[in-house]
Structure formats: structure tokens, C-alpha cells
Structure 1
Amino acid sequence: MGACIWVVFCIMVHFIPINGLVVKSSNIQSVLHRHKREFKWNMMYVTENMSSVSPISIGKLSSSKFNRTALFILRGEGVDQGEKGIFTVNKLGDVFVHKTLDREKKAIYNLNVLAMDEMTRNLLEPETSFQVKVMDINDNEPKFDQNEYNVSFFEGPYTEAKVLTVHAADPDDPTIFGHAEVEYKIFAPKGFYIVETTGDIKFLGTLDRETNQTYKFIVQAKDMPKHSNTGFTSTATVIINLKDINDNKAKFTQSTYTFNVSESTAPGVNIGALLITDKDEPQNTNPQFNPTNLAGVFEIVEDEDLKNGKIILRKELDYETRSSYSFQIEVTETIVFPDKDDGVGFSKATVFINILDEDEPPVFSLKEYHFAIMENVDKGNIGKVNAIDPDTAKNQIRYSIKEDSVDSLGIDSNKGIISIRKLLDRETKAWHNFTIKATEINKDGTQGKESFASVHLKILDENDNPPELNGTTHLVVCEDSQPETVVATLSVTDKDEMTLDTRFTFHLKEENSNFTLVSNLDNTANIIAKYGGFRVNEDDILTLIISDNGNPPKSSTTTLTIHVCPCIDGDRMCEVASAQMGVSVQALLAILFCLLTILIITLLFLLRRKLKKEPLGSLGKGVGEIHEQLVSYDEEGGGEMDTNGYDVSVLSSAWQTGIRPRPESQTGPCLYATVQKPAIKQNMAIMIEVKKDEADHDKDGIPYDTLHIYGYEGQDSLAGSLSSINSSSCDSDLDYDFINEWGPRFKTLAELYGVDEHDDASMY
């Protein structure tokens, strides 16, 4: 009813002039009086949401200088700014609104107006501003900040506990009574209520998460609170999730627990769980388990995830010793409300654990057996191992040695006695480590479980090896050594076990006039020269006897050779022959490999030559020519050193008494003089020896001369050409006797080209 009265009031306002004066341009006469030069308004009003087919007049403009030709012009918001075309004015000054206005979008429009002469366009009044205010009507409902409020709240008893606050806002004009005022209402379970003016939701009573974990209800917001039949409303949803606290005790789900466990179960294994119930969430479940009479065999621990009690085995089980266990256990927990008890579950329980019998493998009396025996024993018993069947069946046990490589020892399969089968030598193997296998024999004769034990047999030493000299038996002494000079220090090795008490003694079988033997008392001895001055290349032979202090004592005899050697500044100029000839096995293998490689290459080469049928003289020369010596000269001038090399064809030829016929095909000029025989006719062997002797004693001769021995070809052997280009020689009247005047270096050349006075024109 109030809203209707307000609307009528607003409409009436629209038709009342602002200043109570309306100036019309028609039927007005000039009145000579003074006017105040100003407009007669400052505010106009329009109600929101008004709609009409034709524009609605909201007021009239008037001026003290209004005349027939006056023209009003509007400017500002709703005219030429923002949304245009909302307001207009006619010639009479009537202001019209052309659109429906919404106060919640824009409540006030600021306009400017000016009056001018329509004819002259001169201003009649300065520009003046005024406002158009949009009047509110209750056309909006309150709106909540959220469509759904979701909160968490701890369970428990409360007295007017504030859970949350809801809020709704109404966009209508709060200055108009009731338009924007909001009141709240709740539609919730018992215990929840809301403060109507503030939106605070409170609870009075006890919240139990285990009974109801979530609460969901509706709240309402309404404007115009004093008018129950009018106004707008809106709603929102409230969800309250209760958070858990530790307000329930943990209890066992049953009063007795029974578990069956194999006796072969290893310690540390979880053999069962004691299930508990607790309505609280796991993070608020903290049970304490208090067992009695666990005998140290079991332990109760808490499962961190499920909060149950776990039974952990701490010792090995043996069915034959004890077949069952039982104990009492109690579960307790400290909670927030000690008096709360729903009567579900058990705070105490009894646990029964039954041990199951298993077919166990044999058990040795020891995990490792250690025995010792003297060496050089080829039969007898070493010791005994023992294993039993721990089960009630008590099956027989069979023993065997696991390793097949142990052939010097054996074991009695029934009694477990270890015996010797072969001679034991400590120097060959000081320890024998092997494994004994024990196998059950079931009642039906089949093999059952197996187990193993380690056996360590130590071979004790017997003094059955003589001491031996370390190092070489060939010694060297300088010829100028002084008396008391230490020629060598002798050390000893012994294949037998050497302890801190082991001692070796040294002595010479026969005394020596030049050397003596002195012990150092540390299992070494020195050979010392008695007198100074020795003759080079003279050897002394010493017979050395080395003995140990074993039981029985052992001794060895060694022959030492001392070689006298020249020395310069203490450095020996000779070495022991054995040292010079000593070659390691690796070096011998390398040498043999190289020789074998060379032999194979040679055979392959010969085989290839045979297959190709190539003659040995493949170079295009005769057999007699392939042994020629190639001499390289680096100087072109005369007087260089002659080389004692020989043309094989010359040395292989026999001296002839007649002239060798010249080939008929030779028609060219003579390039060389005819080669003559030496003046002295003697045996070829004598000539070679003479030349060899001259070459050996020639001070200017090259030290790398090589003696070549050539086969004697016989009396009729033809001499080959001396020319490297296979040119021939011919007779010439040239005299080469002047070569004898060149000196000893050209002696051989003079002999080759000399003329035999008894045999004219002899040729090779």
C-alpha cells in the first residue's frame, strides 16, 4: 500500500513546475519591469522503470529573459554524452524522457542548458547546469555473496558457538525505508540458528562426527523486513563438514585371536595382526598395546597405517621344544572426553599362537670345523663331523664331500669320519678347505633335506726340505780387491715353514786359501777375500754347506765359482758366463717364434719360386756374377781409397796360355784395354791369400770388408765382363804400366792390367 502511494506522489511531482512559474510564448504582453537574469530551476525527478509509448515530461525550463524567439539547448549526460537520446527539450522549455531508466545503473544525470535567440543566435542567458535524479522503487532482491557456503567445524559440545556468517546485499536505495534492508532466516536441523540482522549462524548443543559428519541446510535473505507481504527474497546453501577429534577409544574387534606359525619362520616376520576398531579417523587413533607374558619370543608393535597391533617374531621357533604360546593383551587410549563410551569392542583380548612342525634339514654340531695334521701322511683319520635330524622322525644322516676336486680326502658316509686318501704335502697345499654335505634319508629310502658345514684342514709342517741358496752360484771378484773385501752376501730360502726361530748355518766343506765365510747371525753370510791381489781369469771353487735347525735338521751342498775379473775404478770389466748366457723363458719363446716365422716365410718364398719356375738368375746375370760387390764412390776426383773387392769372374777364371778367341759379332771399337794376366804365374789360392793378407793389414782399408770365398770353376771357365753395362773388351796397343807409378792404392789395378812378358795378348 505504501509503495502505491509513493508512485502516485512521484507522478504528481512531474506536472508541478519547478519554480511555480510557467512562461508561455503566446498571448504575452510586454511588461516593463526588471527581471533577474537567471534560470528558475536546479533539480528534476523521474521514477525508474517508467515506460510509455510517448515521451514523458519530467519538468519545464523557464528564464527571466524568455521571449518568443527564445530557444533552449540541452547538453550533458543522456543528451550528447554517454547513452544519447534519453532527454530532450522543446521550444516551450518542456523536458522529456524518452527511455526507461534504472536507478541501480545510474541514479543522477548532470545536464547543462543555455537559452539563445533563435533568430540572432545570441545567448539570452549564460549556460547553467541542473540534475535529473532517478527515484528508486523496490525492484531488486537481496543477493548472497556466495550461492553455497562450505565450511569445516570441529565436532564436540558447544554453547552458542559461531559457525559462520552469511551476507546478502540489496542494490536498491538504502535511503528509502525498507528498500535495501535485509533480514535473514534459517531452515536447519535442531541446534543451528541465525541472527536475523547480522547473518551469524550459531550452534547450541553437541556435534558428533561419528553420528553425522555433514550438515546441509538453506538460509534466506528478505528486504522490506517490516512488511511481511511485500519485498523480495533469495536463498543460499550452507554445508558444514565436521572435523574429527580423538573422542572415541580404540578397542579390539574380538576377545580372542588365534594364529598358526611354522617353526621355520624367520625372526623379524609379522605373524599376525590384532585388529582394533576406533570410530575416530586414523590420525586421531593412538592405541597403546600392553601385552603380558610374551617370553621374549614375540613383540607387539603398532601398524602406522592401519593402527592395528602387529605380532612380530623375535626368536626362532622350535616345534620340538614348544608347540604353542598364549598371552593376554590390553589396548588403551587417551581421548578428549574420557566418559564417552559407545560400548562397542573389547579392551582386552587373549592371543593363542600354535607352532606348526616342519621337515627341517639336518643340524651340524658346528657351523665350521677346524682340523690339523702333519704333512707326509698318506692314510689315517683326520676328524669327525656330526649332524642330527632335529625333527621327531629322527631320520638317518648320510655324509659326503660337496667338492669333486677334493681327491686326497674322504669321509665315511655313515659316521662322518674324515680320512686321508693321498699323501699330504704342505709345500704343495698348506690348507684344504671344503664343504661337508649332510643328507636326510627318509623312512622310504628317499633323500630328504640337506645342510652344509665348512671344514678347514691345516697341514702342519715337517722339516723335509733342505735350505737352498738364493741367487747365482757364479760370483765375481776384482783382481785388485783388498783384504777383507766382501765378495758376496749369501741368503737362503727354505720350502718348509719359516718361523721367527728358524736359523741357518753356513760353512765351507774345505778351507780356501783366498776366501773365507763369515755368518752375519741373521740367516745370511758373507764371502770375504783373505788376501788382496788376484790373477785375471783364475777361478776359485768353494763348496758351501747350508744347514737349518729343524727336527731333523736338513742341509744342502752348493758349489760356488768365484771368477777374477779386471776392474777399472771399481767397475768390473767382465761378467759371469752364466749371467751372460742366462736367457729368460719369455726371451727363448720370442726367439723361437721369430725363427719359426722366418722359416715359414722362406718355405713360402721357395714354394712360390718353384711354382713360377723362375731361375735363380732372374736378375739377368750368371751365377758367377750375383756375388759381385757394389762399391759406391762419393768423389769424382782421383786418389780415393781403393776397396779390396774382386770381380768374381776374374777370381773364378783359370789362367790360360793362349789368346781367348774374340766373338765374331763384336764389330764396335774397343772401349777398354785387353785385360792381362798378372806377371807372376802361381796357384790361384796363393794369390787370394796374398790379397787377403794385404787387405787385412792395409791401414787405409775400410773396416767393413767382408771375406768372400768363391768356387774355382776350372781351367776353361770364361771370364765375365768387367763392364756394368755388359760392354766387351778388345785388344789395344795402350800401355798400362804407368798405373804402377800411382802408388800402392792402385796395385791391384796395375796387376789386372799388367802385361805378361811370357804370354803376349792373353785374355780372360
Structure 2
Amino acid sequence: MMIDVFRWPLGIFLWTFLLNFIFTTAEGVKDASPVSVLHREKRDFQWKTIIVYEEKNPQNPPEKIGQLKNTRSSTRTSFKLFGEGANDIFSVNTNGDLFVKKRLDREKKSSYKLTAQLLDGNSEIETDEFIIEVQDINDHTPRFSDSPTGSIDERTKKGDYVLTVKADDDDDPSTPNGRIAYKLLNGTSFFTIDENTGVISTAGGALDREIQSQYKLIVQASDLPGSDGGRSSTTEVLIKINDINDNVATFSKRIFRFSVKEDQKPGFKIGTLHIEDRDEKENKKPRFTVTPPFNQIFDVELNDNNDGVLTLIKGLDYETTASYTLTITVTEDVVVQRPDNEKSGLALQLTPSAQIFITVEDVDEPPVFNQSEYTFNVLEGQTRYKVIGSVSARDADKTSHRIRYSIEDPKSPVEVSSDTGQLTLKIDLDREHQPSHTVQVTAQEESETGQKSYATVKINVLDINDNKPELANEGNVYLCENDEKGTVIGTIGATDADENPGKFRFALARKSLNFSLHDNFDNTANVILTHGHFSMDSSAETILEIEITDGGTPPQRSVTPLRLRVCACGHDRQFHSCREYYKSGISMSAIVAILFCIVAILVIVILFVLHKHYRRAALVNLGKPSSEIHEQLVSYDEEGGGEMDTDGYDVSVLSSAHRDGRLGPDPALPPTYAVVNKPQACKGDMAVMIEVKKDEADHDRDGIPYDTLHIYGYEGTESLAGSLSSLDSTSSFGSELDYDFLSDWGPRFRTLAELYGCDADTSY
């Protein structure tokens, strides 16, 4: 049943009636007819957009700016505000009067959107939106964001663009409050400004950087154009005038004087020609011209400041020319100006010339060779003392000192005459050893300064036919066991150490029954087999003597043996193995090795014999009795007691002391001391002992003769103390002998008494 209602128009009408009834009931409207729902009611709020000026200072009470009106308002209704600034900036009373309570700023907020609500008690009757527009006033001054700078070339024409200035104003740009006009407060003779755009251009005055290089312009920006109540501000604009080459370069003075030493090398800077040019450095472009013929000697270059620098092209000679006077002119391309103040381009401007005086100073110059390099061609084989040429040098000064020549290189193949400069060979030249030689010859003045100069001498050694040809490619010639008659067993060639040996000719020095030689006339020859049947096992070594002649003058000949190997060969004579024949004789290296071995063996034998001899002599000495062991006496000082005293006394006193009874406290001793060379020492038993020892030494064939003096400590047979030698005593303690008697021998034997005696007598 519900579906039928929705399908038919009656059902639609019922649903529409029901919804309209619900809405009209909620609004408190009694009329619920369909006509009242379909037709919109007429607007009840009546007002225009409300306008208020900014920056007004609200008074107490607040300033009224308008009134809200509604056709349905009555004494029972009231108004209420909602939206931007409601009840804070703006307020409304029950009658709809609209007030502003705070200062407004259009530059911060230019309009406010509010909503007005009409209430009947607490019931809302109607709501509508409205806008409050903030009206602009001229409360801001134009301002420049920066201090602009610009530049322009000097001598530019009228109307050329320079730069643009820009100022901003926060007031409404659609009103005169926000519109800006520009004005120049100075510099109007040279520049103009567009009052609307701020574009600064040239005004037609002649801009000359050399008169004024920059301008500071004061630009004013004002609002409310055409009225006196506007606000304004100023800024400073810096305009730089760019330089162009519009000034002619001239010399700073008309005469320049310089002096230069004659030994200065080409490229030497003589002096600076200062230029005056009012233009900047980059536009200072002078060109210099040196009048002929001095332009072959002098030139002018530009330095870092674009001034002229006078330089040498070639060296000077005081002895030839002591001074120079020349003229130099300067030119420059400059920009000229037309009467209508437009640049006409570059025009050549001539400037006055300058006169240059140059004085050449004399110096002590080194000798000058007539050639910087000498070349001599000498045939090889020239012997010593052969003259190959000469060098020559002169003193460049007017004094003309004598010149001495020398060659400092000790390995030089030539020597030079110190007086004449004549070159003579010191060695025999061999082109094959060294094809050329380079020598430095020194020329020195015989003066106080001894100036030197040097020249190079090159000696080319020319070839002569002095080398014999040598056999080449002999390793490619061999015999195969299967070679037949007429087989070419190899091709030989030749080499020659000479430079151009010419054509080689080949022949057999001795005829062979099995081989022949065919000269190919191209520096090669074929070795041909005339009989076959060679075997690696049975065939003997075959040697062919090849005679080679070169094509030199005179021709050189050589005969070289060609040893032929017999090989087992395969297809196309490719050999697999060959029988090698060794040459008879011993090589030089083998001979040297054999000699070295023989010398080494001889040295070993000699050392062995000497070792055996010294060893046997040592054994013989060990077998002798202890009494025959010799001991050398060494003299001591007079304090006594030590072995150093032995040379200080006559030994004969010891050998006869007991027999003569001279054992007093202070025996008389001779004033001088001797050991062997005193005659009184050779008497009695000691003399016999010495003779016996000498005889033994003379008849000892195993002993080595010594050219030394042997001294024997022999006290004699009647000595009570016996031998005092430490060789026979095993220890200084436990001796059975009493050595107390040494104390009676006097102060000279004090030390011995203290060493061997028990109670030393110290009475003395």
C-alpha cells in the first residue's frame, strides 16, 4: 500500500504537506498552506555597506558609524552582533545603532564581515550579514627600499637610460594616498627622472669623467600628486661615470736620458718612458714608434701601467758606437665628440714626439771568437800531432789584451796551442770506436780580470776502409744426410764495421771437391753441394775457407773458416738433430781457471809446511828442562824488589856475593847500570853457561834464528838462595828456604826481603 502512495501524485502531495507542516510548526508560523512554502519572503533588513575611516580615535562614548534597520523591529526586539570584531571593536544597542570602540588601521585590515541578528526576547526573528569597509586616509609616507647605484659612459647622448628608482607606499594605491610621484632635487643639468616610473636618464649635458667621475642625486618620492598635503621622502642615488678612451696620451717630458752597459743582453730594459693620459688604465692604449734605423736596435714595450719601456733588440758595442740619439713618437686611438653630443667612434690622434739620448758605458768584455761553433772533418787513422784546424778569438775592448787558449777537459782528443789556437790530435782517431767528438775551447785575456769566453769545437771522424769484412749467417749453413748433388745447403752474408764498405765478393780460399760457392752479387753467396752421401756417424768434420772482399778503397780481404754440421733432416731440410764437432785446444777462460787452481794448491801446501814446522819447534821447546827456559831480565827503578830492577845492577855481584863475602848493608855498586855489555859480567860459571847456550843455538837446525839478545838469570852454583825465577816456583808460600839473609843486603833488596823473608829488618 505504501508503494502505491509514492507512485501516484496524490501520494507526493501528502508527503509535501506533511513536511511543510513540520517546518512551519517549528517556526511558529500559523499559515501552513503550500503557497507560503513555495514563495520567498521580502528582505526585512534595510541598509547599505557601512564605511568607517581608519585612524580615528574613538571617544567615550564610542563613535556611531551607522544603524541596523529592520522592518520587523519594535520596542520588544533587540539586535545582536556576531563575526569579526563583534562586541570588541564594534558594538550595537537595542535600537540598532552601530558603534566603533577602537582605532582602525586599513593597512592591517581593510574590511570586517559581521552578522546581525534580530531577536524578540530570546527568539530569533531574522539574521543577515553585512560588511564594514575601512576607508583609507593618507597616513603613510613613501619609502625607498635601498639606495640605488648606477653607471653610464661619459660623453653619452641625451636620453640614455641610467637606472630606475622605486618607492613604496602602504596607503591604498587606488587612491591618491597611495600614488607616488618622483622628482630630482639636484643634478638636473645632466639627468632627468620620469615622475611616474622613476626612470633616470641623461639630460644632454656633456658628461666628462675627467671633470667629474660620479654624481650623487637626491630623488624625492611624494604621494597625493598635485596637492600640497601629500607626504614625501628622499633617497641618494650614486651614478658613476664610466671612462672611455677620449683623451690623447702624451709623454710626460720631451727629453729622456739613459745609460746602458755594453754587455747587456737583448731584451734588457733600459728605462721607462712615462705617459700622461687622463683616461683610466684600461683606456690608456698608447702605441710607440722608434724612428729608423734605430728601430733595429731599440724597441718600446708596455709595462703594467701601460707606460713605455725602452728595451734592447740586439747588443751594444762601446768600441763601435758610444752613444745614440733617437726620436720616439706615441699614437693612440681615441673617441671624439660631435657637435650634437654623440660619439663618432675612434679617430687617430698624433701626439708630440720625445727625444731619447742613450749613453753606452764601456765594460771589460770577455774575448770574442770569430765563430761560436767550429766543425772539423778528420779522416780516421790520423796519428798524433796531426793539425786539424785552429780557433781564433779577439779582445773586444780597445785595450786589445793578448789571448791565451786552453782546453780544460783532460779526455779531449785534441790539444790547442795557447798562443795560436791551433788544434792538434792527441790520440789516434777511430770512427768505429767514436764517430764524433765535442770539445770546449777557452779563450782568456791576459789582464787583471782574466775575462774568459768559450767556443765549441766539433770533430767529425770520417770513415776509411780499415776494417776487414766478417762472415755472417754461418749458422744457417748445414748438411743433411739426404742432400743430393746440386743442393744449396745455405746462404752466407758479410758485415763490415766501416761506414760504406761497398759490395762484398765471396770466393773459396781453397777449392773443395764436395762444395762450391756461388756469389749472388747482392752481398750474399750460396754454398752448393757438389757430391752427396754424408752421414752423421761416419762423416768427418768439414771446414770451408771463405774469402770475402769488400768494395772499399783500398779493398780489405778476410778468410774465415766455415764449419759444416751434418744433420738428420726431414721434409724441406728441416733438421732434427746435428752432430757437433768440438774445436781442439783450450780456451783462454779454461787456461785462467787452471792457473788459478794451481796457485791455490801451492798456497795450501806452503801453509801446511809452515804449520808442521812451527808445531815441531813447539814440541822441541816443551821437551827441554826447566833450567834451560830462558827468561829476560827487565830493569826496574831504584826502589828495588821488582823484576824491573834487573837491568839496573851488575849481575856479576850476585854470582860472587857469597864467595867474596860482600854482604854488607850498603855494598858499593857502580854508578851506571848494565846487564850484558859489561865485561865483568862474563866471568866464572856464567861465562861458561853462556858459551854452552850459544853453542846449542848454533847447532840447533830446527831452531829459528832470532836477531835478539837473550839474557839469562843465572846466579851461579854457590848461591845460597838458588834461582829467584818464578818459573821454578809453584807458589810463593811454603818454601823451605830461608830468605831472611836478604835483609842484610841493604836497602836495595828491601822489596825481596819483604816478599820472601819472615821478619824483615827495617832498621835501615
Q: Secondary structure at the match of 1:283?
A: helix
2:370 aligns with 365
Pairing of 1:355-504 with structure 2 (within 5 A):
355-366=360-371, 367-373=373-379, 375=381, 377-406=383-412, 409-422=414-427, 424=428, 426=430, 429-444=433-448, 447-458=450-461, 460-461=463-464, 463=466, 482-484=484-486, 498-500=500-502, 504=505
Are the counterparts in 1 of residues 79 and 119 from structure 2 also a CA contact under 8 Å? yes
Greater mean alpha carbon deviation, residues 449-458 or residues 50-59 = 50-59
Secondary structure of 1:383's counterpart equals strand
Question: In the aligned structure 2, how far is the partner of 1:512 from the partner of 1:156?
Answer: 110
Structure-2 change in CA distance of 1:272 and 1:374 (3 Å): same
| Equivalent residue, structure 2, for 1:220 | 220
Q: 1:50 aligns with which of 57, 63, 79?
A: 57
- For 1:56, the aligned partner's letter is E
Deviation per residue, 1:44-99 (Å, 9 max, x gap): 444432232443333343433333331211123321xxxx6111112233322211
Question: Matched residues in 2 for 1:87 and 1:393: separation?
Answer: 118
Per the alignment, residue 118 of structure 2 pairs with 115
| Conserved? CA contact 2:380–2:464, under 8 Å | yes
**Deviation at 1:301?**
5.6
Distance 2:231 2:313 in 1: 75
Deviations 1:8-43 (A, max 9, x none): xxxxxxxxxxxxxxxxxxxxxxxxxxx997245334
For 1:64, what is the secondary structure of its paired residue? coil
Q: How far apart in 1 are the matches of 2:144 and 2:391?
A: 90
Query: Offset at 1:179?
Result: 4.8
SS across alignment from 2:105: coil
CA deviation map 1:349-398 (0-9, x unaligned): 12333334444333333302213145162443232222222233323222
Spell out the pairing of 1:50-69 with structure 2 (5 A cutoff).
50-69=57-76
Deviations 1:287-308, CA, capped at 9 Å, x for gaps = 3333321444246566385333
CA 1:129–1:357: 2 relative to 1, 3 Å: same
- Map of 1:555-570 to 2, 5 A cutoff? none
Give the secondary-structure state (helix, strand or coil) at the position aligned to 1:377. Answer: coil
* Contact kept in structure 1, 2:374 and 2:455, CA below 8 Å: no
Query: Residues 544-555 of structure 1 correspond to what in structure 2 (within 5 A)?
Result: none
| % identical equivalent positions | 33
Deviation of 1:235 (Å): 1.9
The one-letter code sitting in structure 1 at the alignment partner of 2:247 is N
| Aligned mates of 2:172, 2:551 — CA distance in 1 | 128
Confirm whether residue 187 of structure 1 aligns to residue 185 of structure 2. Answer: yes
Could you say which residue in structure 2 is the equivalent of 1:101?
A: 104
Shift of 1:161: 6.3
Pair 44,402 (structure 1): closer, same or farther in 2 beyond 3 Å: same
What letter matches 1:253 in structure 2? Answer: S
Moved more, 377-386 or 266-275: 266-275
1:599-634 deviations in whole A, cap 9, x for unaligned?
Answer: 9xxxxxxxxxxxxxxxxxxxxxxxxxxxxxxxxxxx
Match of 1:578 in 2: 582
Distance 1:449 1:359 in 2: 11
Q: CA deviation at 1:160?
A: 6.6
Matched ranges for 1:682-701 at <5 A: none
Structure 2: 5+ residue runs without aligned partners?
1-40, 340-348, 602-764
Hey, what's the Cα distance between the residues in 1 that align with 2:375 and 2:92?
126
**TM-superposition CA deviations, 1:87-139 (whole Å, max 9, x none):** 11122333222111223433443333221211xx3333x32344434445443
Q: Distance in 2 between matches of 1:184 and 1:360?
A: 79
Distance in 2 (CA, whole Å) between partners of 1:263 and 1:468 is: 61
Paired residue type of 2:430: R
Deviations 1:470-521 (A, max 9, x none): 6879997677765455566665555666522x55463545x55555565555
Corresponding position of 1:211 = 211
Q: CA deviation at 1:249?
A: 1.5
Amino acid in structure 1 at the alignment position of 2:455:
F
Q: Per the alignment, do residues 259 and 117 of structure 1 end up closer, same or farther by CA in structure 2, a change over 3 Å counting?
A: same
Paired amino acid for 2:207: L
2:260 is matched with: 261
CA contact (8 A) 1:144 1:166 kept: no
User: In structure 1, what is the Cα distance between the partners aligned to 2:173 and 2:385?
Assistant: 123
- Aligned ranges 1:524-539 → 2 under 5 Å: 531=531, 536-537=538-539
| In 1, Cα distance between equivalents of 2:385 and 2:255 | 65
Matched, 1:149 2:156: no
* Amino acid of the structure 1 residue aligned with 2:359: N
Deviates more, 1:185-194 or 1:274-283: 185-194
Maintained 8 Å contact 1:473/1:560: no
Question: Displacement, 1:266?
Answer: 3.5
Counterpart residue type for residue 404 of structure 1: P
SS at 1:578 equivalent: coil
Question: How far apart are 1:544 and its partner, in Å?
Answer: 6.5
Counterpart code for 2:185: F
- The letter of the residue matching 1:389 is D
- Kept in 2: contact 1:277–1:345 (CA 8 A): no
More divergent stretch after superposition (574-583 vs 36-45): 574-583
3-state SS, counterpart of residue 398 of structure 2: coil
Distance 1:127 1:301, change over 3 A: farther
**RMSD across aligned C-alpha pairs, in angstroms?**
4.7
Following the alignment from structure 1 to structure 2, what is the Cα–Cα distance between the partners of residues 294 and 284?
A: 31
Distance 1:518 1:168 in 2: 113
Q: Distance in 2 between matches of 1:428 and 1:286?
A: 63
Change (3 A) 1:360 1:185: same
On the 8 A contact 1:508/1:517 being kept in 2, the answer is no
What are the ranges of 5 or more consecutive residues in structure 1 without an aligned counterpart?
1-34, 600-764
Match of 1:73 in 2: 80
Q: How far is 1:433 from its partner? A: 0.6
Contact map agreement 2:477 2:491 (CA 8 A) in 1: no
Q: What secondary structure does 2:447 align onto?
A: coil
Aligned position for 1:347? 352
Match of 2:320 in 1: 321
Which of 92, 96, 101 is the aligned partner of 2:95?
92
CA contact (8 A) 2:47 2:68 kept: yes
SS of residue paired to 2:451: strand
